[in-house]
Amino acid sequence: MDIELRGITKRFGSVVANDGIDLDIRAGEVLGLLGENGAGKSTLMNVLSGLYSPDEGEIRIDGKPVAFGGPGDAIAAGIGMVHQHFMLVPVFTVAENVILGIEPTQRLDYLDLNTARRQVREIGDTYGLEVDPDALIEDLPVGIQQRVEIIKVLFRSADVLILDEPTAVLTPQEVEEFFVIVRSLRDAGKAIVFITHKLDEILEIADRISVLRAGRITGHGDPKQVNEQQLAEMMVGRPVSFDVDKAPFAPGQVLLEIRGLTVYRESGDLIVDDVSLDVRSGEIVGVAGVQGNGQSQLVEAVTGLRRPDGGTIIFDGRDITRASVRDRHAMGMAHIPEDRQRTGIIGDFTIAENMALNNYYEDRFAAGPAIRWPAVFEQSARNAVDFDVRTPSVHAKAFQLSGGNQQKLVVARELSRDTKVLVAAQPTRGLDVGSVEYIHGRIVHARDEGDGVLIVSSELDEILALSDRIVVMFKGRIVAEFDASKGPVDRNAVGLAMAGRSQEVAA
């Protein structure tokens, strides 16, 4: 099935998200779609998947114009989309989510979950996407939730698969497995649109590349001809540096002291197992590891989102093991959470309100029980400019921002304050190369100013680029430590430790 988009224009108020876009999507091909945060990628794909109707322009399937009244029409036409942010129901099981909207029924409309379960297993087996059909979504790590989203589209036998940043939450290992699936789908004649900010991925998997900037197509690339540097420049309109500049390593006193930290999951499994770790002033400690090895729970315990079951956390000389989140903020702890939509922002609040979430009660913003709105607006306007949060107004709702700009909003709120310790989980997830460059610069700046920084990232390259010291978590424990202050650390050695083979690198 071939698709032609012709002259697609989509506006949101004064924002022209898509401005006369022409694009061809062909059967048996992977089309890589690149573009900076807010360029209009998700909007264009939401138009193609029937979620939005375009203000102008036409969609043609195999030469025939179509009009979609909603996602149901697009699905019926064979177009399925895996969205950038999960659209799963947390309290439902995997099977229930997969069949949501197209439930197979037995006689008399009784929901036939057994059939659904079996089909979920079959799809899992066929494409290497194993998940337990009976697991509750809320109990699954993000990487597995992503698989469920993909199964959901495959379950609807789509001929065109739109994948909006599917790899943003996957581990390198999972990305490779995922590419195997993508290739087999392509070889089976499906058309695939693949959106990512990772240039190496797009060069590996795409057959053609199209680049969007500010709502328009700014160029096309042949993956065999272009390199990452050229793609980056096509995206952001200027050269981008992939290296991080840091001042010489000069650590000060210990700011964060984690001792014997232990956390059990709700299920009773031990997930953080006796972790001890120091973070000093002027130091970036990177926690490497395959997602799901306790890093998330470590961060939650340190930032106060979760009570540890054992151990202590000392912050700047004070025991904060049981301190509230607000106390930790007030003491100078900044937190960039791994899941921006769950714990980073409130989508229905405006950008200004989101920027003030952890300081609205301070004297400069509060007059008794009332909020000094002019001060709040002034703060957010400044932060939005400083951190390049692309929005026509700070009075827009956070959910109206593109995914990467939501991330920049969180980073802006956390890094614009005077802090002592920054705890950052996946700080650049979903950001374009230009924004990654900028955020890395800000994190290093915080460290150079004397902050202690604890970074958790499943991007090994990010850990290697930023860290002064690297620890590797595996099955809840710290299994290896590398000094990165004197020169680059061996990527392979860290990779081995991440796979639980630390004895081989201990030497």
Axis-axis angle for helices 142-155, 172-187 (nearest 10): 10
From residue 35 to residue 64, the character string flagging contacts with Mg ion as x (rule: CB under 5 A) and all else as - is -------x----------------------
Q: Does 467 bind Mg ion (CB under 5 A)?
A: no
Instruction: Kindly state the tokens that stand for 181.
Output: 């699936």
Q: Does 42 bind ligand ATP (CB under 6 A)?
A: yes
**Applying CB under 6 A, does 50 fall inside the site for ligand ATP?**
no
Q: Which is nearer to ligand ATP, 292 or 404 (CB)?
A: 404
**Residue 119 binds ligand ATP, judged by CB under 6 A:** no
Interaction with Mg ion in 75-134: which residues (CB under 5 A)? 84
Q: Which of 21, 23, 30, 37 binds ligand ATP (CB under 6 A)?
A: 37
Q: Of residues 378, 400, 448, 501, which one binds ligand ATP by CB under 6 A?
A: 400
Residue among 166, 403, 434, 452 that touches Mg ion (CB under 5 A): 403
Minimum CB distance to ligand ATP smaller for 35 or for 286? 35
Q: Which of 25, 43, 155, 205 binds ligand ATP (CB under 6 A)?
A: 43
Q: Rule CB under 6 A: is residue 11 a binding residue for ligand ATP?
A: no
The site for Mg ion, by CB under 5 A, has a size of: 3
**How far are the Cα atoms of 43, 53, 376, 431, 434 from residue 5, in angstroms, in the given order?**
13, 13, 42, 26, 28
213 scored as a contact of ligand ATP (CB under 6 A)? no
Tell me the three state secondary structure of residue 101. Answer: coil
- Contact call for residues 131 and 125 (beta carbons, < 8 A): no
Nearer to ligand ATP, 313 or 431 (CB): 431
Return the residue nearest ligand ATP (CB atom). 404
* Min dist. Cβ of residue 489 to ligand ATP (A): 30
**395 part of the interface to ligand ATP, by CB under 6 A:** no
Under 8 Å between Cβ of 210 and 220: yes
List the one residue from 49, 93, 296, 405 that touches ligand ATP (CB under 6 A). 405
Shortest Å, Cβ 496 to Mg ion: 34
Query: Which of these ranges, 126-134, 275-283, 396-404, 489-497, lies near ligand ATP under the rule CB under 6 A?
Result: 396-404
- Distance, in Å, from the CA atom of 30 to the CA atom of 447, rounded to the nearest integer, reads 41
Q: Is 406 in the site for Mg ion (CB under 5 A)?
A: no
Of the candidates 202, 279, 250, 229, the residue with the CA atom closest to the CA atom of residue 437: 229
Phi, psi values for residue 310, rounded to 5°: -165, 160
Residues 6+ apart with CB under 8 A from 251: 280, 281, 282, 283, 468
Output the smallest distance, CB 298 to ligand ATP, in A: 28
54 is a site residue for ligand ATP (CB under 6 A): no
40 makes contact with ligand ATP (CB under 6 A): yes
Distance CA 485, CA 506 (A): 18
Using the structure block, give the residue that is written with the tokens 């500049």.
245
Query: Crossing angle of helices 433-448/403-415, nearest 10°?
Result: 10
Q: Which is nearer to ligand ATP, 38 or 294 (CB)?
A: 38
Give every CB contact of residue 416 below 8 A, 6+ residues apart in sequence.
355, 379, 382, 383, 386, 387
Q: Toward Mg ion, which CB reaches closer, 304 or 404?
A: 404
Can you tell me the distance from the alpha carbon of 387 to that of 373, in angstroms, rounded to the nearest whole number?
21
267 secondary structure, DSSP code = T
CB of 405 or CB of 419, closer to Mg ion: 405
- What string marks each residue from 425 to 464 as x (binds ligand ATP by CB under 6 A) or -? ----------------------------------------
Interaction of residue 17 with ligand ATP, rule CB under 6 A: yes
CA distance 307 to 323: 9
CB of 48 to ligand ATP, least distance (A): 12
In the complex, the smallest distance separating the C-beta of residue 51 from ligand ATP, rounded to whole angstroms, is 10
Identify which of residues 93 and 407 has a Cβ nearer to ligand ATP in the complex.
407
- With vertex at residue 191, the alpha carbon angle to CA 187 and CA 197, rounded to the nearest 5 degrees, is 105
Find, among 346, 337, 262, 347, the residue nearest to 307 by Cα.
262
Q: Which residue is nearest to Mg ion (CB)?
A: 42
DSSP 347: T
The yes or no reply on residue 430 touching Mg ion (CB under 5 A) is no
Can you say whether the dihedral through the CA atoms of 150, 33, 216, 410 is positive or negative? Answer: positive
Q: Write a three-state SS string for 213-236.
A: ECCEEEEEECCCCCCHHHHHHHHH
Q: Crossing angle, helix 433-448 and helix 228-236, to 10 degrees? A: 90
Options 116-124, 286-294, 374-382, 401-409: segment touching Mg ion (CB under 5 A): 401-409
The item of Mg ion, ligand ATP, none sharing an interface with residue 405, based on CB under 5 to 8 Å by kind, is ligand ATP
Query: Which 75-104 residues touch ligand ATP, going by CB under 6 A?
Result: 84
In sequence order, what DSSP letters do the residues of 449-468 get, joined into one string?
TT-EEEEE-S-HHHHHHH-S
Per CB under 6 A, the segment of 30-38, 148-156, 251-259, 342-350 that binds ligand ATP is: 30-38
Angle at 393 between CA 388 and CA 398, to 5 degrees: 80
> Residue 254 binds what, of Mg ion, ligand ATP, none (CB under 5 to 8 Å, by partner type)?
none
41 binding ligand ATP? (CB under 6 A): yes
Contact assessment for residue 61 and residue 2, using Cβ atoms and an 8 Å cutoff: yes
- Please give the residue ranges that form the binding site for Mg ion (CB under 5 A): 42, 84, 403
- Please give the residue ranges that form the binding site for ligand ATP (CB under 6 A): 12, 15, 17, 35, 37-43, 84, 390, 400-405
